[in-house]
């Protein structure tokens, strides 16, 4: 059977029908917000290449976290920028280090209202900027995998002692997940999760982060431990090893240039939660184009997040987390209809289902100029579509 009997456009003819058959949901519970903490900062330091992102001083981290929390995002991934660096990154496992203090501050101020995750690596903490212990080989240097592992275990334990719920090893050292699991268990932290940067590519999209975290390597690059962008099948080997070593959550990083990898990892390990890290370069690209008015940033950022969810990611680490959460909460999701009732309260007449997606607020928010886009959208009937987007649909979700 084919055209004209079959017309896929019929299912796209109204917002209600599109919402009914949408295959992918996106809500703030899926989002993780990275937070940079700088030990010697006195006030928030803007990151030039990431407009809207700051490096926060200790003592103010919790204020930023509370702001993000109010937008509906309750998962944080903490990165530290220490005041002192050395060859072995000893500030990374110092109980009084920047991340450890930041985690204690967040725990003290937020209690159990947020899940606190920490990046476990050495590159911000070493003078050479590599993710492990650098050794001299015959004629050159190299990052010594096995010498690095005990340090990773110590870093993870120090984060758990400070109050981290989840540790996220990002060094791409072989065996790092197993080492951290053993170290955590031996220290009594059997309930601390490991979110493994299982599939981390040697990507040019990390550029803006390196400014943010002051972690550019002083020499060489990270291609001897991070994955080659030309490879996809190898991702399955990396993910499989992390599963065997005890990872609770797998991760692919970056996200947007590696949606195919997200998909094959999810298909290979459907019984493991998968996170995707939409990295600094992805954020900066959209921000730059948005600032110039070259694309509709609100719409584009949600489209990107949907694409990552559609590829198979359960959770997304993104610098857009608070902004995306606000769009979803305020019903300003260009792809779906507004909430028809307030979540958590009595369902509307004829409705029986709580909203699973988006924010808790039901009210559509009037948008100046935003609706015009709908009218121009190819395939839509001008006017009808725009109206359908805005009008409340009692019971539409039930």
Binding segment (CB under 5 A) for Zn ion, from list 129-137, 202-210, 244-252, 265-273: 129-137
Q: Which is nearer to Zn ion, 131 or 327 (CB)?
A: 131
Q: Which is nearer to Zn ion, 126 or 374 (CB)?
A: 126
Q: What is the secondary structure of 126-177 as a DSSP string?
A: BTT--SSEEEE-SSSEEEEHHHHHHHHHHHHHHHHHHT-SEEEE-S--TTHH
Asked whether position 251 contacts Zn ion by CB under 5 A, the answer is: no
Q: Is 307 helix (H, G, I), strand (E, B) or coil?
A: helix
Size of site (CB under 5 A) for Zn ion: 3
Asked whether position 131 contacts Zn ion by CB under 5 A, the answer is: yes
Q: Verify whether residue 154 is a known catalytic residue.
A: no
Mode of pairing for the β-strands spanning 141-144 and 133-136: antiparallel
Binding segment (CB under 5 A) for Zn ion, from list 121-129, 295-303, 312-320, 376-384: 121-129
Asked whether position 180 contacts Zn ion by CB under 5 A, the answer is: no
Of 82, 93, 67, the closest CA to residue 37 belongs to 82
Name which position in 31, 37, 103, 123 contacts Zn ion (CB under 5 A).
Answer: 123
Residue 291 parent element (H or E) = helix 280-291
- Write down the least CB distance from residue 225 to Zn ion, Å: 9
| Angle, helix 145-162 to helix 98-110, in steps of 10 degrees | 30
Asked whether position 120 contacts Zn ion by CB under 5 A, the answer is: no
Asked whether position 121 contacts Zn ion by CB under 5 A, the answer is: yes
Q: Which is nearer to Zn ion, 222 or 393 (CB)?
A: 222
- Write down the least CB distance from residue 166 to Zn ion, Å: 17
Q: Which is nearer to Zn ion, 275 or 389 (CB)?
A: 275
- Write down the least CB distance from residue 369 to Zn ion, Å: 43
- Write down the least CB distance from residue 131 to Zn ion, Å: 3
- Write down the least CB distance from residue 159 to Zn ion, Å: 14
Q: Which is nearer to Zn ion, 119 or 298 (CB)?
A: 119
Catalytic residue chosen out of the listed positions 75, 85, 154, 253: 253
Binding segment (CB under 5 A) for Zn ion, from list 128-136, 271-279, 314-322, 330-338: 128-136
Contacts of 24 (CB under 8 A, 6+ apart): 306, 309, 310
The answer for 346, left when phi > 0, alpha when psi is -120 to 50, beta otherwise, is beta
Burial string for 365-383 (b: 16+ CB within 10 Å, else e) reads eebeebbebbeeeeebeee
CA dist 163 and 95 (Å) reads 11
Q: Which is nearer to Zn ion, 123 or 324 (CB)?
A: 123
- Write down the least CB distance from residue 123 to Zn ion, Å: 3
Catalytic residue chosen out of the listed positions 75, 85, 154, 200: 200
Q: Verify whether residue 200 is a known catalytic residue.
A: yes
Contacts of 138 (CB under 8 A, 6+ apart): none
Q: What is the secondary structure of 15-56 as a DSSP string?
A: HHHHHHH------GGGEEEEEEEETT-SS-EE-TTSTT-EEE
Contact yes or no for 396/19 (Cβ under 8 A): yes
Which residues of this chain interact with Zn ion, rule CB under 5 A? 121, 123, 131
Hey, which residues are catalytic here? Answer: 200, 253
């Amino acid at each position: 059977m084919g055209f004209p009997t079959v017309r896929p456009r019929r299912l796209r003819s109204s917002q209600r029908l599109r919402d009914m058959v949408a295959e992918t949901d996106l809500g703030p519970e899926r989002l993780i917000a990275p937070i940079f903490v700088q030990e010697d900062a006195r006030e928030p330091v803007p990151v030039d290449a990431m407009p809207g992102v700051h490096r926060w001083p200790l003592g103010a981290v919790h204020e930023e976290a509370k702001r993000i929390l109010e937008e509906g995002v309750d998962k944080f991934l903490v990165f530290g920028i220490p005041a002192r660096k050395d060859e072995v990154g000893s500030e990374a496992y110092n109980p009084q280090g920047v991340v450890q203090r930041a985690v204690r501050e967040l725990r003290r101020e937020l209690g159990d209202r947020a899940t606190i995750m920490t990046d476990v690596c050495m590159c911000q903490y070493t003078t050479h900027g590599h993710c492990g212990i650098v050794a001299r080989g015959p004629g050159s240097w190299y990052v010594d995998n096995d010498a690095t592992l005990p340090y990773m275990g110590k870093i993870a334990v120090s984060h758990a002692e400070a109050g981290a719920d989840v540790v996220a090893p990002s060094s791409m050292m072989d065996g790092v997940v197993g080492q951290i699991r053993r170290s955590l268990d031996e220290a009594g932290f059997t309930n601390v999760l490991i979110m493994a940067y299982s599939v981390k590519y040697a990507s040019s999209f990390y550029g803006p982060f390196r400014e943010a975290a002051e972690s550019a390597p002083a020499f060489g690059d990270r291609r001897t431990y991070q994955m080659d962008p030309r490879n996809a099948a190898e991702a399955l080997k990396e993910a499989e090893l992390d599963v065997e070593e005890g990872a609770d959550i797998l991760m692919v990083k970056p996200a947007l240039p590696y949606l195919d990898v997200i998909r094959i990892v999810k298909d290979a390990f459907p019984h493991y939660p998968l996170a995707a890290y939409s990295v600094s370069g992805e954020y900066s690209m959209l921000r730059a184009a948005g600032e110039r008015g070259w694309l509709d940033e609100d719409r584009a950022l949600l489209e990107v997040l949907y694409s990552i969810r559609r590829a198979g990611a359960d959770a997304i680490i993104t610098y857009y987390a608070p902004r995306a959460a606000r769009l979803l909460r305020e019903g300003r999701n260009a792809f779906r209809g507004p909430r028809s009732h307030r979540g958590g309260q009595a369902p509307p007449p004829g409705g029986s289902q709580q909203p699973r997606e988006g924010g808790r607020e039901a009210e559509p928010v009037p948008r100046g100029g935003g609706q015009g886009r709908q009218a121009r959208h190819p395939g839509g009937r001008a006017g009808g579509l725009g109206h359908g987007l805005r009008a409340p649909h009692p019971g539409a979700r039930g």
